[in-house]
A and B are shown apart, each in its own frame.
Chain A
Amino acid sequence: MSYFFQIVVSGIVVGSIYALAALGLVLVYKSSRVANFAHGQIIAAGAFITFFLTVRLGVPIFFSFLASMLITFFLAMSVERIFLRRLIGEPIISVIMVTIGLASIFDGLIYLTPFGSENFSFPDFLPTESIVVGGVSISWTQLVGVIITFVLIGAFSWFFKKSTVGISMRAVSDDQFGAMSVGISVPRVFGLAWATAGLSAAAAGCIIGNITGLNFETLHAFGIVVFPVVILGGLDSILGAVVAGIIMGLIQQFASGYLDGNFGLNGTGDVMPYIILLVILLFKPHGLFGIHEIERV
C-alpha cells in the first residue's frame, strides 16, 4: 500500500509542476488566443538564469529566483512586443508557426551558451535527507517546490480575481471590443499576459531544475507536455490548468509505476499524456473547465 501512496505523492509533485508550467500557457491563450509553442524554452531560460545568478555570480538563491522571474517577465514581454504584436489578426497558422520559430530561435541562443549541452544541478540549500511518513518518502526540495507552486498559483488567482490589471485581462479575454470601449488598452494587456506567463515559466523552471537537475532537453520538453495538460483542463481556464496538471501528474506516475515492466511495456509515462490528449480531443475537446466554443463541420 505504501507503494501506492508513494506514487500518489510523486504524482502530486509532478502534477503541481505541470500545473505551474501550464498556467503560463493558459494565461497567454486566455487573453490573446495564441498557443505558445516556445513556452518550454522560456521555462529553460528561467532555470538557467537562476542557475547563472546563483552559481556564477554568487547571489543567494532566493534573490536569484526573484531576479530570474523579473528577467523573464521582461523577456516574454519584449517577445510579445517584437514578434507577436505584428501578427494580431493574422491567420492562426502564422501565429502558431511564429511561436514555433521563436522556440527554434531560443533553442539556438541557448545552445550558444554552455547550458545547451551540459548537465548542471543547483547547489543544495535544503536538508538532503527525505521526510518519511508511514513508509512514504518525499524530499525537502519536492516539498518546498510543491509549496511554492501552490503559493504562486494562489497569488495568480488572487491577481486575476481582485487586482485591476487582472480584471482588465479577464475583460479582454471575455470580449475584446467591450474591453476597448471601457478604455482598456488591449495590446498592453497582451503584453502583460505574456509577461506574467514568462514569470510563471521562470518559477516553474527553477522548481523543475531543483527537483530534476538542469538539462536543456528535459526542461524544454515541458513546453510540449503541457499541451495535454491544458487541453484536459480546458485551454482558457486557470482552475482547469491546476486540476488537470495534478490529474496528468498522477496518471503519468501511475502509468510508469504500474504499467512499466508489466505486459512488456516501457516508458508509458511519456506517451500516456498524448493518448489521453487524443481521447479528450475526440470526445470532449473543450476540456474539463473550458468554454464550449468548438466549431464543428
Chain B
Amino acid sequence: MSQNRWLATGNFFTSYKQEQRTFFTHLDRTIFTCFLVLLFGWPLVFEISNKYMLVLDNILIAIVAVMGLNLLLGFAGLISIGHAAFVGIGAYTVASFSQVIGDNHVFITHFWPVVIVCAGIMGAIFGAFVGLPALRLKHLYLAIATLSFQMIFEWFIQFMSFFNQGQTIYVGRVHWFTGMVGRSDHYLFWYYIILIFVVVLGFGVRNLLKTKYGRCLVAVRDNDRAADAMGMNPGLTKVYAFALAGFFAGVAGALHAYLYRGVGFESFTLHASVGYLAMAIVGGLGTLNGIFWGPVAIKFLDIQVEQFSEFVGHYLTYAPNVATALKPLSFGLVIVLFLMYEPRGIANWWRIVKSYTKLWPFRY
C-alpha cells in the first residue's frame, strides 16, 4: 500500500483484496460522499418547479435502464435493439397488477418496492428468454433477433385488450410513512426514490464487475472461445447478461410507470430503444461513468433542441412542426458524430481530464 492514502500516483496493490475495494483513496471517497450529499441535498435548498424535477427524474430512470444496456452491450458485447421492450415489460408488469387488483390496491400503493422488484424479476425472466438466441447467434443476427422481439412486443401490447390496446393504464399514488404522496411532492418524492435506486444499483454494477461473474462477462466479450477454454461457460454467461440487462430495464420500467402514474405504449417503441442505444454509446461503452454521462447528455440535448425549435417556430410561417423534425435530426447527428470522432464516448473526455489533473502541474 502506498503511504499517501489521499493521493495515489499509480497502482500499488499487493493483494487481490486491495484491488477489490470500492474506493482506492480517501480523496475518491470524500469526493463521492460530497457529490452524493449534493445530489440529495440540493432540492431541499433550491425551489425547483415540477417541470424540471420531471426532467431530472427522467434522466435518472434512463440511467437505470442504460446501466443494464451498458452491461449487455459494453461489458458483455451483445447487441440489443430491443431494450425499450424490456423497459416496457417492467412497466407492463406494474400495469397488469393494476389491471388485475385495481389501480389503488394496497399492494400497489403501499408495497411498491416489492412491485418494483417484481417488475425487475419479470424483466430478467424475459431477458433470459430473449437471450436464448444468443446461444447460437452473434453480432448482426443477434441485433435482428432483438429487433424482432421489439416488434413482437409492440404488436402484442397493441393487440391485447388486457393491456388496453396500448392506451394508458393508470397506476395509483403511492404511500410513504407520512401518508399518501400528494400532487405537489410527487416528483420530488420520486427523485429521491429513483436516486436511491441509482446509487444502490450503481454500486451493484461496480461490485459485480469486480467479481467472478462480472469478469466472466468481459472475458466472453473479448474472446468467447478463450473464455470457454479457461473453464467459463460462454452460453450461460450470455443468457445471464441478457437476464441482468432485463432486470435493470424492468426496474426502470416500473419506476417509469410509478413516476407517470400510468403506462402507455408509446414510451416503449423502437424509437425509444434507439434512444437507449444512443445514450449508452454517447456515454461510452464499457465504462462505468459513461452510464451517467450518456443519459444526461442526450436528455440535455433534447431540451435544448425543444427550446431552439420553439424559438425557430416563431420565425417560420409554414412551420411543419420543427420540433418533430429537429429532434431526430440532432439525435442522429450526435450518434453519427460520436461514432465517427469519439467512439469511446464522453467517458473518454472524463478520463483525459482526470489523468491531466492527477499529475498537474507535472507532465509525467
Contact = CB atoms under 8 A, between A and B. Distances in A.
Interface of A: 35, 83, 86-87, 90, 92-94, 96-98, 100-109, 111-114, 116-117, 224, 227-228, 231, 235, 265-267, 270-271, 274-275, 277-278, 281-282, 285, 294-297
A97 B133 contact: no
A90 B285 CA distance: 14
B270 interface: yes
B274 A277 contact: no
Contacts of A106: 332
B167 interface: no
Contact of B79 (A96, A98, A266): A96
B155 interface: yes
3 smallest CB-CB distances across A and B, nearest first, come from A108-B329, A104-B332, A101-B335
B281 interface: yes
Contact of A102 (B147, B151, B152, B332): B332
B325 A92 contact: no
Chain B interface residue number, banded: 35 or more
B325 A108 contact: yes
Contacts of A274: 148, 151-152, 155
A294 B136 contact: yes
B228 interface: yes
Interface in B117-158: 132-133, 135-141, 143-145, 147-149, 151-152, 155-156, 158
A116 B325 contact: yes
A294 B136 CA distance: 8
A296 B277 contact: no
B83 interface: no
B329 A94 contact: no
Contacts of A285: 136-137, 141
Contacts of B343: 90, 94
Nearest to A115: B320
Interface of B: 73, 79, 81, 132-133, 135-141, 143-145, 147-149, 151-152, 155-156, 158-159, 224-225, 228, 234-235, 238, 270, 274, 277-278, 281, 285, 318, 320-322, 324-336, 339-340, 343
Query: Mostly helix, strand, loop or mixed at chain A's interface?
Result: helix
B159 A266 contact: yes
A114 to B, nearest CB: 6
B133 A111 contact: no
B228 to A, nearest CB: 7
A259 to B, nearest CB: 12
A190 B143 CA distance: 22
Contacts of B325: 108-109, 111-112, 116
A297 B219 CA distance: 13
